[in-house]
Amino acid sequence: MYINTIIESIDSNIAYSPIVFFSLLILAGLNVPISEDAIVLMGGILSSRKNEYTVLIFLGIFWGAYLGDIISFYIGKLMGNKLFKNKKENNLLDKINYYYGQYGVLTLFIGRFIPFGVRNAIFISAGMGNMKSNLFIVSDFFATLLSVIVYFTLSFKLGQSFEIIFSKIKIIIFAIFITLIATIIIICIIKKKKKVDKNLK
């Protein structure tokens, strides 16, 4: 009952999700601790429930992620040296700069698939380094497009699987309940049998 209420509430407000996702990803670009992966996951799952919003949700996520990347790049370019004085942060940036030196734009494409704040570090270090703005903007467009398509598609498929699960959730809960009861009964029988055996001895 509660699950259905939550789902209905989400479904009734799904029209706002592209704007919400876009805004959250812009904040993520400003280094607010918001998970891009979680947003893409939610977007894909929501889209699988309401197919008519798929394109809008995808575009909201893509443009939010892409513009967020550009914001991170310019944070690095304009304020990086002032903001990142922590040794650990500098070590991470040094490593990323090394990879940029070795592998160039490929670092951007690979880094786009790495979560846990590494993405922003990659974009910021690109800004702090010698990467030209035009090169970053063009290459990150394709890197973002690729990563969002991959993650969005996977989460969309996951959402379709959830549909099957939700449709059978009562059966699943009932099966779990029966299994739990059966397990408790078996444990009680075993304990009782052991107690009887001890008394006989």
DSSP track, the chain: -HHHHHHHHHHHTGGGHHHHHHHHHHHHHTT-S--HHHHHHHHHHHHHH-GGGHHHHHHHHHHHHHHHHHHHHHHHHHHHHHH---HHHHHHHHHHHHHHHHHTHHHHHHHTT-TTTHHHHHHHHHHHTT--HHHHHHHHHHHHHHHHHHHHHHHHHHHHHHHHHHHTHHHHHHHHHHHHHHHHHHHHHHHHHHHHHHHH-
- Convert the pLDDT of each residue in 129-149 to its tens digit: 768 889 899 999 999 999 999
- Check residue 33 and give left, alpha or beta (phi > 0: left; psi -120 to 50: alpha): beta
The model's pTM: 0.71
Question: Would you kindly state where each structural domain of the chain is located, as residue ranges?
Answer: 1-161
- Convert the pLDDT of each residue in 63-117 to its tens digit: 999 999 999 999 888 886 666 665 455 566 677 767 776 777 788 888 888 776 6
pLDDT at 2: 47
pLDDT at 177 over 60: yes
pLDDT at 159 over 60: yes
Cα separation of the two ends of the chain: 53
pLDDT-above-90 percentage for the chain: 23
pLDDT at 23 over 50: yes
